Structure 1
Amino acid sequence: MALDLDSSGSKSDELVTVGRITSVYGVRGWVKVHSYTEPMDNILQFSDWWLQGPNGWEPLQIDGGKGHGKGLVVHIKGVDDRDLAARFCQRDIAVRRDLMPALDEGEFYWHQLEGLRVISRFGGAEHDLGTVTRMMETGANDVMVVRGGEDRRERLIPYLPGEFIIDIDLDAGVITVDWDPEF
């Protein structure tokens, strides 16, 4: 996410990307949404969205949303025409970070983990493995994609607290893992 000021003067680092408008749906201004939230319909709990535009993030209000097939469709407030709705497609959706629901102790949002430094304490030695560039879902468990570090490699480390994840210190910006740096 860029650190530019958006059209309202709000810093975009106060926003969390939660989905993307992909295409129009029907003729009355509805659009299809790919949600990054889990479960996917959690994105509908936010009515004040921010939409990535050519000049930064722009406020966007929705006034309806529902599941449709394997995805979601939403209606943008004041948009009742397919052609007008098309202007909103292929753009990321964000919400204000402070509106995200609080998590229980030891739980983290993916956006909190991305960008953290990863240190391995495998075999009693400390190794810099790089930073978390993104998280991905594999079905069995989530995986951290870690790039950089001492050898500039990319590693896929299972996100399994208590097994490979020893500690997460958001204040220090470090995730400590028990992971063989050769793997």
Structure 2
Amino acid sequence: MEELSDPVVIGVVVAPHGVRGTLRVRALGAGKHLRKGKEPVVVGVRRRISAVRQTPKGFLLDLEGIESRAGARSLKGQEIVLDRAELDAPEEGEFYVADLVGLTAVDDAGEIVGTVDDTFETAAHEVLVVREEEDRQELYLPFTLEHVPEVDLEAGRILIRPPEG
């Protein structure tokens, strides 16, 4: 089983597609790391991507060694992971959503609200899970400009504007 020193999830297997082992994958980010020839780790095993096709419902991915619907079905829900060193560097002003975990969340008054504890993707957008400082409750925050107008990785903080209610 291969262990990565700085793993970054680049996708999640949603379902099998067809009968030859093709995977339907939900990409995290724009899917730019789901490329032919890349060798991500899936369930602890490196597998070369032999084909990639983008569809309106996500990506269709063929991995070497997965050649049947049953094999593809066994990977449903599994993360597709690369080591950070294998990723393309983000462009100026861009970052990986995984880099937000651990940042301090502050409000407009500069008060600390909590810490970004996790992220997950919904059909509409990415969601940040902020663990509040005072009562350790979780705040689910849409990762949109309206609710997260500023990200400062160097300072280790994000500015948040939680939805009303």
Q: Is TM (by shorter chain) over 0.5?
A: yes
Q: Which has the higher helix share?
A: 1
* Residue 113 of structure 1: how far off its partner (Å): 0.9
* Residue 105 of structure 1: how far off its partner (Å): 3.3
Letter in 1 for 2:134: E
* Residue 34 of structure 1: how far off its partner (Å): 1.5
CA 1:75–1:36 in 2, change beyond 3 Å: closer, same or farther?
same
Task: Answer yes or no: is 1:177 the counterpart of 2:159.
Answer: yes
Task: Answer yes or no: is 1:8 the counterpart of 2:2.
Answer: yes
TM-superposition CA deviations, 1:159-179 (whole Å, max 9, x none) = 549x842x6144x5x215375
1:91 alignment counterpart = 78
Greater Cα radius of gyration, structure 1 or 2: 1
CA 1:157–1:69 in 2, change beyond 3 Å: closer, same or farther?
closer
The one of 141, 151, 156 aligned to 1:156? 141
Mapped partners of 1:152, 1:27: distance in 2: 46
Q: Which has the higher strand share?
A: 1
CA 1:26–1:111 in 2, change beyond 3 Å: closer, same or farther?
same
| RMSD of aligned alpha carbons | 3.2
TM-score w.r.t. the length of structure 1 is 0.68
CA 1:107–1:74 in 2, change beyond 3 Å: closer, same or farther?
closer
Counterpart contact for 2:47–2:65, Cα < 8 Å:
no
Mapped partners of 2:70, 2:123: distance in 1: 36
Q: Secondary structure at the match of 1:48?
A: coil
Counterpart contact for 2:52–2:62, Cα < 8 Å:
yes
Alignment of 1:102-141 (within 5 A): 102-120=89-107, 122=109, 126-133=110-117, 134=119
- Equivalent residue pairs, number: 160
TM-superposition CA deviations, 1:10-62 (whole Å, max 9, x none) = 43xx1111111122211222121111122x4x2422621111x3xxx321222
CA 1:136–1:32 in 2, change beyond 3 Å: closer, same or farther?
closer
* Residue 137 of structure 1: how far off its partner (Å): 7.0
Mapped partners of 1:142, 1:92: distance in 2: 16
Letter in 1 for 2:35: Q
Identity %: 24
